[in-house]
Structure 1
Amino acid sequence: MAVIKMRNSGEVIEGNENVAAFLNKQGVLYEHWDASKLPIHLQNKFVLTDEEKAEILATFQTEIEDLAKRRGYQAWDVVALCEQTPNLEELLKKFEQVHTHTEDEVRAIVAGHGIFIIKGDEQTGYFNVELEAGDVISVPEGNPHFFTLMDDRQVVAVRLFIDQSGWVAHPYEEKEEGGK
Structure 2
Amino acid sequence: MRAYIYDGQPGDQRAPHDSGKPVSLEDLERLHVKAFPGIDLAKVEEIAKERGYKNRDEINVSKAGLGDIYEEKIKGFFREHLHEDEEIRYIKDGRGYFDVRAQDEKDWIRIAVEPQDLLIVPAGIYHRFTLDEGDYVKAMRLFQDEPKWVPHDKSDETDKNPHRAQFLQSIKA
TM-score when normalising by structure 2: 0.74
Q: Which structure has the bigger radius of gyration? A: 1
Q: Contact conserved, 2:90 with 2:119, CA < 8 A, in 1?
A: yes
Q: 3-state DSSP class of the match of 2:49?
A: helix
Alignment RMSD, CA only? 2.2
1:13-67 alpha-carbon deviations (Å, 9 max, x no partner): 2xxxx742221122101012446xxxxxxxxxxxxxxxxxxxxxxxx3x333211
| 1:72 maps to 2:77 | no
Letter aligned with residue 12 of structure 1: K
1:1-180 superposed matches below 5 A: 2-7=1-6, 10-13=19-22, 19-34=24-39, 60=41, 62-85=42-65, 86=67, 87-122=69-104, 125-173=107-155
Identity %: 27
Q: Partners in 2 of 1:123 and 1:81 — Cα distance?
A: 28
| Structure 1 alignment gaps of length 5 or more | 36-59, 176-180
Letter aligned with residue 91 of structure 2: I
What is the deviation of 1:8? 6.0
Greater shift in the superposed pair: 63-72 or 141-150 = 63-72
Tell me the equivalent position of 1:48. Answer: none
Letter aligned with residue 27 of structure 1: H
| Structure 2 alignment gaps of length 5 or more | 9-18, 160-173
Letter aligned with residue 31 of structure 1: F
TM-score when normalising by structure 1: 0.72
**Quick one: structure 1 residues 64 and 22, their matched pair in 2 at CA, closer, same or farther if it must change by over 3 Å?**
same
